[in-house]
Amino acid sequence: MGEVLALVEARLRSALGEPDARAAVTFLGTDRIEVLRFIDGDVVRYATLGMSARPMNDPEDALADPVKGPRAELVLSVRAGSAETDKVLRPLAVLASSPQVEGVVVAPGNSMDVGEPLWPGAPFTSVLVAESGGLVEDLELGGPMDPVRFLPLLPMTPNEAAWKRVHGAEKLQERWLTQGTDLRDPLRSSVPLT
C-alpha cells in the first residue's frame, strides 16, 4: 500500500510540480485520504492521494480481490481567487473514500454527489468523472495490479447533473464544448440545457 502511494505521489509531482499544501482526512473504518494542492499560474489543482492504495471492487463480487481491480485518484482544477475553493478538501476526501465506504467503482462517465456545495457559495454539489490520461498520465504498477488512473473531476450544477442522468455524460460534455463553458470557473452558472 505504501509503495503504491509513494509511486502515485511521485507521478503527481512529476506532472504538476511540488504541492504547496496538503491535508489529510480519515473517516471511521477507512484508510487516510490526503488532498494535495498544486498552484499552476491562475489555476489551482487538487489531487487526492490514498484512494489508489487498494483496488476498487464491484460490490456484487462475493470476495474483494486485494490486488486486481481498477485503481484511481481524483484531480480537480479550478481558477484561483474568486472563491474559497480550499474548502473542497473535505468533499474531495469524501469522494475519494467512496470506493471503501460505499463499495463503488469510480469510472469515467460516473456522477458523484456530496450533497452540499463543493466550497462556500459553489453552485455545484456534484462532479462528472472524466477520462484519464490528459493532465496526469496513468501510472503502470506492473502485473497483476491494474494501473492507477488520474481521473479529472468536472463540477456540475444540479440542473446539469439532472440533464446528464437523462441524456448521458457524453451529451453533457458536448453541450459544455459547444457553449464554450469554462469548467474551471468556480462560480460559473449552468450551461443552457434547452
pLDDT for position 31: 86
Q: Return the minimum-mean-pLDDT range out of 5-9, 101-105, 110-114, 164-168.
A: 101-105
> Does pLDDT of 59 surpass 70?
no
Every domain of the chain and the residues it spans: 2-178
pLDDT for position 6: 96
| The C-alpha cell that represents 151 in the structure block | 481521473
| The C-alpha cell that represents 22 in the structure block | 496538503
Q: Which residues contact 142 (CB under 8 A, 6 or more apart)?
A: none
* Cis, bond preceding 70 (omega within 30 deg of 0): no
> Does pLDDT of 9 surpass 70?
yes
Output the DSSP codes for 36-50: EEEEETTEEEEEEES
